[in-house]
Amino acid sequence: GPGHRLREVFAEGGGIPGLLAVHQDASGSARALALSYAKGIGCTRAGVIETSFGEETETDLFGEQAVLCGGVSALVKAGFETLVEAGYQPEIAYFECLHELKLIVDLMYRGGLNFMRYSVSDTAEYGDYTGGPKVVTKETYATLRKMLAEIRNGDFARQWIDENEKGRPWFNQARGRERDHLIERVGAELRSMMSFVNPVVAPDQSAGKATVEINEEQKAIAGV
């Protein structure tokens, strides 16, 4: 999970599940060392699953791009824009497409898709079954498989390395564009009136989160 959230959960006495993989073990104690790090940051409080370096890397990148970050962000914006273009208030569109997402995700987090569907109305559940396949089509599955292939064959790594070596021109442009999206402006105003959500503001990232230096060893790992 995000580093700052990992720290928050640790300070609260909990932990975030962790994944453990040993890629090289010259000392013979790599697994024990990795477990000690997992324990040190609180992951063993929630559970640690053994995996491989390749499996964790590929599934992590795919999850980020297709679902957790790229997929969710794009779907939220698309729903918001569709409602606003149809003449609905941006504030209402924000609540329906972004704010209420947490309520649904929390249900899924605790009890899976079945518990979420049990918890919502029958009308919402029916809309789930009928609407979902219209959003995620056979073409979507083909795109997902293509995204995974680009991760596995190194295309994504090469693109990201190239973007960094050029000074991140496209990345910084995309970051600025997304930061100025209407959903962000409307959301910031609404959240400022909802103290119960403990609203936060992302730091200015115009200069980038951090300077990324990619050395030859990292390129070799990425297969480029």
Same domain flag for 66 and 44: no
Q: For residues 134 and 209, state if they share a domain.
A: yes
Please list, in sequence order, all residues whose beta carbon lies within 8 angstroms of the beta carbon of residue 55, skipping any fewer than 6 positions away. 21
| Residue 223 to residue 61: CA distance in whole angstroms | 15
State the residue for tokens 């995309």. 174
Strand, helix or coil for residue 18: strand
Same domain (yes/no): 108, 29: no
Q: Both 94 and 17 in a single domain? A: no
Q: Are residues 80 and 166 in the same domain?
A: yes
Same domain for 143 and 217, yes or no, is yes
* Structural domain boundaries, residue 7: 3-51
Indicate whether 99 and 46 sit together in one domain.
no
Residues 16 and 125 grouped into a single domain: no
DSSP state of 66: I
So what's the pLDDT on residue 218?
47
User: For the chain, what is the mean pLDDT?
Assistant: 92
- Separation of alpha carbons 47 and 210, rounded Å: 30
Do 181 and 85 lie in a common domain? Answer: yes
Residues 100, 142: one domain? yes
162 and 109 both lie in a single domain: yes
- Structurally, the chain folds into a number of domains equal to 2
Intervals of the chain under pLDDT 50:
207, 210-214, 217-218, 220-222, 224
Do 121 and 70 lie in one domain? The reply is yes
- 144, 147, 149, 150: CA torsion to nearest 10: 180
How many Cβ atoms are within 10 Å of 134's Cβ, its own excluded? Answer: 7
Question: What's the Cα-to-Cα distance from 196 to each of 11, 108, 129, 199, 200, rounded to whole Å?
Answer: 21, 22, 32, 8, 12
How would you classify residue 13: left for phi > 0, otherwise alpha for psi between -120 and 50, otherwise beta?
A: left
Residue 186 tokens read as 């409307």
Whole-number pLDDT of residue 204: 76
Quote the pLDDT of residue 119. Answer: 98
Identify the pLDDT of residue 205.
Answer: 58
